[in-house]
Structure 1
């Protein structure tokens, strides 16, 4: 039955590929550049001296001429962020960066009401940035520059003098002070107090940092213990944006009783069916980075390259260039090059992809799929786009054994590394790579290692025998060490199209070593609830998100390997269950890494130590790594990366431009 199923999969794939005139060619992926990390911001590029014209979009120049907009020199900060080769994307991933020309619209699509993910990432501006979503060569972004004290406890930040919100109001340390004192230190707005990002060691129980405003454009944050990882926390961690620390105080003060008397707020509260719950009104009026594509944020001041504007068509989101955007290219031209982004809401992801095939989409990453690459290739020429195979920012599939699941026999086995090693050795990863990922994936050498990434049924069987699972039932399935029937429920959600076929193949592979595995698909929302409640025995999912630094280490415990252990850790031992030493070791390792300066030699070594911990303990069993991610880009778009993470192209949207 299994051979027949695989044969059918391969036949279908062969037919699809033959219809396309051959399979999609793999894109050569150059290695990421290794750059030394520094405790001070990396040196910024310099723009050419301003010329006599052509440094702003023609539509903005017309507004300046008509007296509707200040001149460019008054809209840019004194030291704008200069974008050139290697700044947003490494030169290895984008070797042919060029300064661009103004004009054009990027058309895309989304399938969830009031949420356009590809546009969100293009709009998102972190406080600091590094090329290609790394933490190597961190430099200023919204914040101009920074310094870190020798003991990694004090961070001094310099803002861009003359920087403006999209409504023309200045950006100053008052926007930082307001965020810190009037949002994070207000009980109604922040019931839990200062968020973990701003606590020593990124620990919810850690001491909160101390803010000191030095002048209108300089501020300092000091922590009680070394917290070098704070740099990562305002660069990439959790895909955060500048609103973590900088918010338009001149707008939000209107909805805060520290600045606006309650009697003046009453009419607004009444309009929103509220009485004295001013904090609910404030939260509704405040637009954080995650809300950038929401209709309620139209007109809210921003620092993003494009701003949300009213659309004449229901379901269509329109974003026009920000005339006060703080970045320029190496020729001094204000970015972005593209005039406008338009995203159309459609019924589902399939309809999003239909718009790709009809040539109605100029850029798409969020809703693409490897399974559709043959179809993309078939329609590229007619629809006028290129399919670029880049890297996913997550590892596509893994097996998560819940080692604190409420079953004594299961715990005894799952907590023994030999059991996890046996399961890993039983997997035919090459079959999964070929039949599910079309060859565009690799063995998990980083998180599993060479030894346990190879299929070795003889060794897997021997390990299971060592564990006492020597007896079998009439169907050939192994019994528990106590001689009782033993089965595993392998569950998966529907968050991605690869999860179900991967789960089915995993079950078949494990049956080859006598393990009785039943597969069940559950609703994505129920999957999350059951995982949080410690009710999943074993599951298949994605892992290792680049946006979460501990996803290779302690994050594996939090996300389902040992929820009871995680609860013990985060409660200081007051709740949950005390974990074994190998788990305590990784909590200590994470604390060390968060104390080190992100991107430094110390940090990089601790990252390697985390990978080694993963290979030694197999907290979860990674199935594949480095799965490719198809990105759709109009054939005339330039500065499109050819390597690295696909999502990094979104983060570099301001440098995209259309060739004539």
Structure 2
């Protein structure tokens, strides 16, 4: 009997063949007479056949009842091709796979995923129950030892975590108590509420609570000899064993094919490469309502291409599913390609608070400019000087929504006043505000002067990665000229731009607005306060929070301090209503102060797929957070109507 013969064999038949007692798989009252698997499994290890499917699945797998979600149960098989703009873009795979301890469904409600169940008490005590028999992609058991390893041997190993547990786990500066209850149960407890804990675990890039300990111990000084560690150090040309461990445990970019995973597909390619192959995980924990082990699709190929050519290649059928490196400007061309190739082009709504926003650098080194930027009248004036209607029509074909950098109507927290805060086109009021702020107009040049007499000329840092940024800045140049401000774009690579912002050399930069424009009250409002060094308007203040006070410096602007205090209040709040109240206070303050200057949101994102690919929604929300791009739409349930 071959492995392909096992694809639909019952557990009773299999155990009989092995001379064991019979059994039946049961999940939430659903009994399967048999699980089934892809024929591809037989090719994974032909010399040493893998165990039958029911022995590779957890005793209680996660069952996706696709018909209840409006999806079609599918069939196994096929390879899905996608294009990426560089090797670093393999980072999209763990985001799109979206295997999480708990995750969001399309309605942004939390559901147990890797966990069989979880319990929350007073938002202080979180008990996680693992699935019996769950295994990593290499077949080793996934148990509470994988959590203990991270807690004790990573978070509390100075070489790997200099500051101890990550700040995302600290409440009022205190880390949780961690307990291993038994082989399948762990508990995290805080003295004060931690309402962000589960939302963080459901995010695109969650705090990593578990590692495949059985694999990684070979790179840890506690479990490995110095002689072998020195061999690894020499092999990878790094400084110490900690650098080896970090390299081999990296999950954000799956560059180590040997690292076991719980995702639907596992990396098979080590960089550098022009094509990255991801094969199905034969131990994946999800099945459909008919007992078919997911994912349906056997293999995902990520082909590296020039980012500028991806739209053209997609339009000639070189990608089976393309969601990145496309923009609305490509829509007409891609829609035309439907007539020549077996493609369908859908439009999803982007979730960012603004498709493009201006970020005054409140931490810039220039003392005069810093004082100007701290003045809310200046920030409000710049926002009022923008003719968003003109930009919407000229650049976004009139299909976007003119808005401050604010949340979208799809969020239950939405209020029109957040969208409209200082977003009307009113150059007369803008001029009056600049007069009040002490930036007089030079009648000879028609330009305003800074308090020290210099012309109010703003260098705006941009990456130039998107052509629409340049188009928008051309229009903004004329619009700001009407209020006596002159702007000049300065194009630099993304890393250099961030370095200039963090170093205080930049006065203003361009970026995307709020990542999560569709929050609920139970999601963290950290984007509204200085909490990260990625925030272009106050990265040094954000670094101070992110580092737990070990780096950067605390905010000095009263309103920024208030936002940070409100964020702390949200983390201590008890219950949905309290959190919603704090969210509204933060949204009102954030939009009224115009800490970032939004232009339009609700822009449309082309999603291109081959017509054979099923279960991809025609309309959906597109964004990093909270949907994890494709993640909440279950890519493991995508399938081909015909073998592809």
TM over 0.5: yes
SS at match of 1:460: helix
Q: Does 1:552 align with 2:528?
A: yes
Q: Does 1:217 align with 2:184?
A: yes
Decide which moves more: 586-595 or 406-415.
406-415
Paired position in structure 2 for 1:145: 117
Paired position in structure 1 for 2:132: 161
Q: Does 1:291 align with 2:253?
A: yes
Aligned pairs for 1:69-218 within 5 A: 69-85=50-66, 96-113=70-87, 115-132=89-106, 136-150=108-122, 152-200=123-171, 206-218=173-185
Match of 2:290 among 331, 334, 337: 331
Decide which moves more: 425-434 or 566-575.
566-575
Instruction: Give the distance between the partners of 1:304 and 1:402, measured in 2 at CA.
Output: 39
Instruction: Give the distance between the partners of 1:414 and 1:369, measured in 2 at CA.
Output: 32
Match of 1:586 among 563, 572, 575: 563
SS at match of 2:32: coil
Instruction: Give the distance between the partners of 2:209 and 2:371, measured in 1 at CA.
Output: 46
Residues 380 and 118 of structure 1: is their aligned pair in 2 closer, same or farther, counting only changes over 3 Å? farther
Normalized against structure 1, the TM-score is what?
A: 0.82
Paired position in structure 1 for 2:435: 465
Q: Does 1:476 align with 2:446?
A: yes
SS at match of 1:366: coil
The superposition leaves residues 66-106 of structure 1 with CA deviations (integer Å, 9 ceiling, x where unpaired) of 9822222211112212223599xxx5xxxx31211111111
Instruction: Give the distance between the partners of 1:368 and 1:557, measured in 2 at CA.
Output: 27
Q: Does 1:616 align with 2:598?
A: no
Which stretches in structure 2 are left out of the alignment for 5+ residues? 1-25, 407-417, 518-523
Q: Does 1:541 align with 2:518?
A: no
Offset at 1:574?
9.4
Normalized against structure 2, the TM-score is what?
A: 0.84
SS at match of 2:512: strand
Instruction: Give the distance between the partners of 2:287 and 2:320, measured in 1 at CA.
Output: 23
Residues 311 and 220 of structure 1: is their aligned pair in 2 closer, same or farther, counting only changes over 3 Å? closer
Residues 332 and 505 of structure 1: is their aligned pair in 2 closer, same or farther, counting only changes over 3 Å? same
SS at match of 2:119: strand
Paired position in structure 2 for 1:418: 377
Instruction: Give the distance between the partners of 1:540 and 1:48, measured in 2 at CA.
Output: 52
The superposition leaves residues 323-348 of structure 1 with CA deviations (integer Å, 9 ceiling, x where unpaired) of 110011122221101111112222x1
Residues 360 and 259 of structure 1: is their aligned pair in 2 closer, same or farther, counting only changes over 3 Å? same
Residues 168 and 645 of structure 1: is their aligned pair in 2 closer, same or farther, counting only changes over 3 Å? same
Instruction: Give the distance between the partners of 2:171 and 2:555, measured in 1 at CA.
Output: 23
Paired position in structure 1 for 2:193: 226
Offset at 1:351?
2.7
Paired position in structure 2 for 1:37: none
Offset at 1:513?
1.8
Contact 2:405 2:514 in 1 (8 A): no
Residues 627 and 117 of structure 1: is their aligned pair in 2 closer, same or farther, counting only changes over 3 Å? farther
Contact 2:359 2:510 in 1 (8 A): yes
Instruction: Give the distance between the partners of 1:284 and 1:350, measured in 2 at CA.
Output: 30
Q: Does 1:433 align with 2:395?
A: no
Q: Does 1:532 align with 2:502?
A: yes
Decide which moves more: 188-197 or 554-563.
554-563
Aligned pairs for 1:486-565 within 5 A: 486-546=456-516, 549-555=525-531, 559-563=535-539, 565=541
Instruction: Give the distance between the partners of 2:389 and 2:217, measured in 1 at CA.
Output: 58
Offset at 1:558?
6.5
Paired position in structure 2 for 1:15: none
Cα RMSD, aligned residues only: 3.2
Residues 565 and 217 of structure 1: is their aligned pair in 2 closer, same or farther, counting only changes over 3 Å? closer
Contact 2:277 2:300 in 1 (8 A): yes
Which stretches in structure 1 are left out of the alignment for 5+ residues? 1-43
Match of 1:386 among 344, 351, 356: 344
Match of 2:221 among 257, 260, 263: 257
Contact 1:200 1:225 in 2 (8 A): yes
Instruction: Give the distance between the partners of 1:273 and 1:521, measured in 2 at CA.
Output: 34
Instruction: Give the distance between the partners of 1:69 and 1:566, measured in 2 at CA.
Output: 49
Instruction: Give the distance between the partners of 2:27 and 2:591, measured in 1 at CA.
Output: 40
Contact 1:477 1:515 in 2 (8 A): yes
Instruction: Give the distance between the partners of 1:574 and 1:352, measured in 2 at CA.
Output: 40
The superposition leaves residues 424-482 of structure 1 with CA deviations (integer Å, 9 ceiling, x where unpaired) of 11101112112222333212256253252221222222322333445433122233467
The superposition leaves residues 176-235 of structure 1 with CA deviations (integer Å, 9 ceiling, x where unpaired) of 11111111211222222211122226xxxx222221100000011122422121111211
Instruction: Give the distance between the partners of 1:657 and 1:480, measured in 2 at CA.
Output: 60
Instruction: Give the distance between the partners of 1:529 and 1:612, measured in 2 at CA.
Output: 30
Contact 2:405 2:513 in 1 (8 A): no
Contact 1:45 1:83 in 2 (8 A): no
Contact 1:442 1:624 in 2 (8 A): yes
Q: Does 1:318 align with 2:277?
A: yes
Offset at 1:646?
2.6
Instruction: Give the distance between the partners of 1:310 and 1:329, measured in 2 at CA.
Output: 28
Match of 2:211 among 247, 253, 261: 247
Total equivalences in the alignment: 592
Contact 1:127 1:234 in 2 (8 A): yes
Aligned pairs for 1:15-30 within 5 A: none
Offset at 1:312?
14
